[in-house]
Structure 1
Amino acid sequence: MTTPLTGTQDLAMVSISMLGIPHDGNSSFMKGAAEGPAHIRPELHSDAYSLWTETGTDLGQVGRLIDHGDIQFNDSLDHWEAIELGVGRVLDTGNPLICLGGDHAITHPIMRAVRKRHPKLTILHIDAHPDIYHSYQDNPRSHTSPFARIMEEGLADRLIQIGLRTINDHHRAQFDRFGVEYVEAGHCSRELELDLQTPVYLSMDIDALDPAFAPGVSHREPGGLSTRQVIDLIHRIDQPIVAADIVEYNPRCDISNMTALVATKLLKEIAGMMIKTHASAA
């Protein structure tokens, strides 16, 4: 049972920022994730759907969801620096932030900006893949490696990975090296306890879901989570969600915009829980 929101005055003070990061330059197999933000936004604002969240917030209320557009990339500035600076400017508004990717590599520079503003931080990472290779195809910025860079740089106190179903020996060595906590997809049940103790950064890779629910990804991995399972996980977060990303949606692989709609649904539920957890902490 969902606990009703209380403290409507505090609730009214919480706005959510949204920022597109259309970057897939470090995708190892297929490009297209950079097109994600441009396909999610129309679904978010479509008259076919409601902007209400399951936790009881109307994201269509004026000032509730603030879209800061997309980061623009050019050769005059390193792309990682551009992401860190762009994310930092939006975070300085004081609102929780949802970033729309883009491939998973962008989480590394996002976290550089987030960590500067949050000295205590747990990453909750929902994904089919650990994305913790030391390097992949000789690219340390690969979308398969962001969490190795994040943990090397001490950008989080704790990393919890949920939904994994591609673990190999190298991943296990990295888990040991960085003290990663993980729950494979086959062990994701309603009884799963997150035991969160600090503010949370939520990294949502769309390929955590089974391809039956979200076919629009570059690396389909059968045996994944249902949309309902992921929403239930998001709803069980009981610490303030300070920032999040939704990554690896590839419109080129989608079927009838199914995955765009799923990504939009998750965006709304993440935003709703950002509002709820910040209101509860106020």
Structure 2
Amino acid sequence: MTRLSLLGIPNDDNSSFLQGASEAPSLIRRALHSDAYSAWSETGIDLLAAGRLTDHGDIRFDDASDPWTLIEQRVADAMASGDPLICLGGDHAITYPILRAVRRRHARLTLLHIDAHPDIYHAYQDNPRSHASPFARIMEERLADRLIQVGLRTLNAENRAQIERFGVETVEAAHWRGDLRLDITTPVYLSLDLDGLDPAHAPGVSHREPGGPTLRQVIDLIQGIGQPIMAADIVEYNPRCDVSDMTALVAAKLLKEIGGMMVKNARKSAAAV
């Protein structure tokens, strides 16, 4: 059985507008384990089957440790088994220290980023650790060979300059048509910001941006990934902004579909060896 790992990263220290994303991991878990919903992915994987999912719990942050160092260490520990890992944020700033640990295990890596915002400011509000800046840090350190950003709809002059500087590939929401398929030839890290979806589908975020893709479009994109998904994060769920726990359910649904594709593609890779 292909196994999966889960790790909660309840940190929103670098959110620029509203706090609350640190409260997300336990609520996403609650939706995943709820008897009201199936734990099966559309690809036929039961995420809660015995032995399938190892939950490493939540990172516990304190004033004595640098949060970035702690995240990197705990992610490395969770990945030591070799099982694909899904991290539950937290704000999008956590993606940078996660990638530092993931990159050490993968010499080739494509970073697929679904978001309304490129989060590539050099140092948003003079904070280089801002949740609006992780992809600048990631690309500066070359933690991915390719960065593909999908769903963008807030690009300004600085964003576009940074995208050009780092050679980022983009699919803006205005150009997302029909059955989007990406040509990816390496293992994948998937970073999924819930505000990448249209807020009609995921209202529980701090930065709602109308005009985004549907949940179906995002699921179809994930299910179209043909390479192994080695790790992923689901970030920026803010329960304080949610409506009837709708976004928690959406996050749990996406967790199941990401996990399902991790298992499916791992099996395909094993069969090809």
TM superposition shift of 1:15: 0.5
Q: Is 2:207 the partner of 1:219?
A: yes
Mapping of residues 30-109 of structure 1, within 5 Å: 30-109=18-97
Residue 234 of structure 1 aligns with an amino acid whose one-letter code is I
TM superposition shift of 1:191: 3.5
Who is 1:175 aligned against?
163
TM superposition shift of 1:193: 2.6
* CA distance in 1 between partners of 2:181 and 2:40 (Å): 27
Residue 234 of structure 2 aligns with an amino acid whose one-letter code is I
TM superposition shift of 1:190: 2.9
TM superposition shift of 1:269: 0.2
* Aligned residues with identical type, % of pairs: 69
Give TM-score, length-normalised by structure 1.
Answer: 0.95
Who is 1:8 aligned against?
none
Q: CA contact under 8 A between 2:181 and 2:221: conserved in structure 1?
A: no
TM superposition shift of 1:186: 1.8
Q: What is the CA deviation profile of residues 84-105 of structure 1, one whole-angstrom value per residue up to 9, with x for unaligned ones?
A: 0000000001100000000000
Residue 112 of structure 2 aligns with an amino acid whose one-letter code is L
Give TM-score, length-normalised by structure 2.
Answer: 0.98
Q: Is 2:189 the partner of 1:201?
A: yes
* CA distance in 2 between partners of 1:213 and 1:125 (Å): 18
SS in 2 for 1:117: coil
* CA distance in 2 between partners of 1:140 and 1:190 (Å): 36
Q: CA contact under 8 A between 2:110 and 2:146: conserved in structure 1?
A: yes
What are the ranges of 5 or more consecutive residues in structure 1 without an aligned counterpart?
A: 1-11
1:166 to 132, 137, 154: 154
1:115 to 103, 114, 118: 103
Deviates more, 1:59-68 or 1:123-132: 59-68
* CA distance in 2 between partners of 1:17 and 1:158 (Å): 24
Q: Runs in 1 of length 4+ with deviation above 2 angstroms?
A: 189-193
Who is 1:5 aligned against?
none
* CA distance in 1 between partners of 2:191 and 2:232 (Å): 6
SS in 1 for 2:232: strand
TM superposition shift of 1:59: 1.2
Count of aligned pairs: 270
